[in-house]
Structures are given as structure tokens and as C-alpha cells.
Amino acid sequence: MEGMIEVNCDVCGSEDSIELLALLGSAYHECKQCGLIYAKWIADNYEDINDQAFAAEIEDYAAKVDIKKKRYQKKLVPDPSQAPYTFIYTEKCAHTMRPCGSSAR
């Protein structure tokens, strides 16, 4: 197959397998030695494909972290007992709209 490479069992390295299912130009085989089910044919540039997918996931994750960081920075207030460098996180309770843990009514 063009653009594809044939692989052996990832667990035991055996070439001896049974085809279970052929699908979209690939085939899923069961290793006769250890029973692993694996794709017999994979893209010859699978490392590039994995790198691109990983890079995209990292970018998405970094964007989510940045959004959360900005959201929580808005909730940071100076801690008067540790001024001027320490900040504390305050979360307002839904029912009192005061900082959680506050006993003032």
C-alpha cells in the first residue's frame, strides 16, 4: 500500500497474526502469540501525524489555561497581612455574596 507501512505486533513483535477486520485501507489483526489486536498497516509518516496532533492539543490546552488564569486573577485581592506582595483568592458564596467562610451577616 502506498504511504503505508506494515507493522508487527507491538507487544511481542510476532509477524504471525489473523486478520479480523479490513477497514478504510487498513486491517486489524490479532496476534497469534499474545492476542493483541492492532492495526496491521499504519501511515508511513505516523510520527509527523502524532507530532502535529500533539502540538494542536498543547495549543488548545495553553489557551484554556490562559483563559482560566485571567478569570482567577480577577478574583485575587491583596492580603493586608502580607502586603505588598501576597494575594489571596476569594470566592463569593452564592447565597451570601460574601467571601466564603465569612461569618458576617
Tell me, what's the pLDDT at 103?
Answer: 47
| Cβ 36 vs Cβ 11: under 8 Å | yes
Q: What is the CA radius of gyration of the chain?
A: 27
pLDDT per residue over 79-94, tens digit each? 666 655 555 555 655 5
Half-sphere exposure of 6 (CA within 13 A, CB side): 7
Return the residue matching grid coordinates 509518516. 45
| Cβ 17 vs Cβ 9: under 8 Å | yes
**Grid coordinates representing 92?**
463569593
Half-sphere exposure of 34 (CA within 13 A, CB side): 11
Instruction: Flag residues of the chain having pLDDT under 70.
Output: 1, 76-105
Cβ contacts of 2 within 8 Å, gap of 6 or more: none
Tell me, what's the pLDDT at 104?
Answer: 46
Tell me, what's the pLDDT at 85?
Answer: 56
Q: Where are the domains of the chain?
A: 1-43
Tell me, what's the pLDDT at 32?
Answer: 97
